[in-house]
Amino acid sequence: MTIREGKKEDLPRVLELIKELAAYEKAPEAVTNTVEMMEKDGFGENPVFGLFVAEDDAKGIVGISIYYYRYSTWKGRRLYLEDIVVTESERGGGIGKLLFDRTIQKGKEDGCSGMVWQVLDWNEPAINFYKKYYNATLDPEWINCSIEL
């Protein structure tokens, strides 16, 4: 298994994995992103996200980690892990851990003070993953808010 930085030509498969995640999270209709949007936003003049892919020589891309930077007034520069997705048939084999570790390494390389992410409260496999490997802090006090523009 190779973990490497994603490239433009990976985006069709990346979008497939994003749609697989949306189906798993019971919201397949929520994905409105396109390969063209991801190309501009990740590989254009002012990239706003980065990604790593997990690639198997025989199976191709089987997992992704998508991240971006945010700023905390209390902690400074932070890496925000938007999503880790491992295709269903490959889950449980350590690919998620490889992607998570590489994303943490990226944060350290770039001088971030930490990494933050979200997990759905019903996603027990993901919650257990974070608790088991990283002794992560899961904070129930914050409510997620958003506005569609």
Which residues are the active-site residues?
Answer: 130
> In this structure, what DSSP letter does residue 57 have?
T
Q: Determine phi and psi for 21, rounding to 5 degrees.
A: -65, -45
Contact of 31 with 63, CB cutoff 8 Å: no
Contact of 54 with 64, CB cutoff 8 Å: yes
Q: In the chain, where do the E strands start and end?
A: 2-5, 50-56, 60-72, 76-86, 115-116
Parallel, antiparallel or unpaired: strands 50-56 and 2-5: antiparallel
